[in-house]
Amino acid sequence: MSGPAAGTAHAATTTDVVCLGESMVTFLPSQPGRLADVPSFGRGIGGAESNVACALAAAGHRAAWVGRVGADGFGDHLVETIAGYGVDTSAVRRDPDRPTGIYFRTATDRGTGAHEVAYYRAGSAASAMSPANVPYGELFAGRILHLSGITAALSADCLALLRELTAPRPGRPLVSFDVNHRPRLWRDGDAGVLLELARRCDLVFVGEDEAEEAWGIVGAEAIRAALPEPSVVVVKRGSAGATVFASGLGPAPRSPNAGGPDPAAGGAEDGSGPGSTDVGAAEAVQGAPRSAGGDTVTVVPALRVDVVAAVGAGDAFAAGFLSATLRGLSVRDRVRHGHLMAAAVLTVPGDLTEPPARDHADRLAALDDGAWGRLRLGPGWTAADRAHEEVRTP
């Protein structure tokens, strides 16, 4: 390891979720337009895995982020800001020889041709993460280990690290994997490796669009067929919502969380995923759930949201789903909490925001299908005191 552990926030002995990956300082535009035309930028933080950790900590869970940053001011800013959300950053390492990554982006939707991102991350401290220099004790200390495909694209050493962390082994925590395909990062690599990594995990998040772009696989059913090993595959379908394939199994992390019941104790069937951690049954709910090829298939419509900025929603969705998983909620409600957490981020300019209060989110997640379909959320909705204040009919 290149430097001492850094961090100002320390979680309780039992960590709910450990997230590993690169976090960068992000520069957000002061106004819409091309990067060439934006006169100034505000400083923030960005990183898929640290975003998930921050959202989980803000939602009341014990979250840790493991990464590597430069011994520079940007590294200080990252560690201090992430710790400020209540995330344990004690396992973050400082690299005296490599810088902290930074990037600039426009205010447009990432999915549009007008969106621009300028990354300055080549040779960053995070790209030097490898099987030889990460703290395995801290990584495997949580109930869930959350990873993303972005890390695999940073360097050959980072890819080797993800292969090591996703390898089946006794006592492995539940491994959650967000495919997070970023075409710019795979210009000189084979994004097919993301399929290999996903197949070694217990819980996988993947968008229909990225599966088609990275693997040439079209449609939720085909995605599940290509990912038969994970116990739970969450296929994100944009405005159509999400489809969850669960092979009679739902994630059951190793120890109960103070914020909710132990998912393993909720009357679930037992089974084993790619790792050795037992998992509890995924419930069949929402509309007319069906079985397909041994799976329970759950379809949950997306919310209608008045979008301010379409960034960070995927990370927030994963955080909401993991939060509800830790609490032992039904599959439908796991997805609904994912949608709600995403809606909180979509209605603010940056990648992170304060999530809705737990009881508020629970009331919304418990709406009947009709009320859920009429729900429309706009800026400021997380501050509302009562669920019916957000329900507006077309």
Which member of 315, 333, 351, 362 is catalytic?
Answer: 315
Asked if 230 and 273 count as a contact pair (C-beta separation under 8 A), the reply is: yes
Structure tokens at 286: 């929402």
Give residues with Cβ within 8 angstroms of 345, minimum separation 6.
311, 312, 313, 315, 316, 351, 352, 353
DSSP string, 260-279: S--GGGSSPPPEE-SSS-EE
**Residue 386 has what DSSP assignment?**
S
Structure tokens at 285: 């709910």
**Cα distances (angstroms) measured from residue 250 to each of 76, 160, 174, 237:** 38, 28, 10, 20
> Residue for token digits 């950790």?
53
* Active site (annotated) includes residue 315: yes
Which residue type is seen at 202? D
**Residue 375 has what DSSP assignment?**
B
First to last CA, the chain: 57
d(CA 75, CA 81): 10
Nearest to 205 by CA among 186, 182, 180: 180
How far, rounded to the nearest angstrom, does the alpha carbon of residue 389 sit from its chain's CA centroid? 28
Nearest to 241 by CA among 323, 179, 176, 297: 297
Structure tokens at 25: 């300082």
d(CA 81, CA 8): 10
Buried-exposed string 356-385: b where 16+ CB fall within 10 A, e elsewhere: beeebbbebbebeeeebeebbbeeebbeee
Structure tokens at 27: 């520069």
Asked if 94 and 70 count as a contact pair (C-beta separation under 8 A), the reply is: yes
DSSP string, 285-353: -SSS-EEETTEEEEEEPPPEE--S--SSHHHHHHHHHHHHHHTT--HHHHHHHHHHHHHHHHTSSSS--
Active site residues: 315
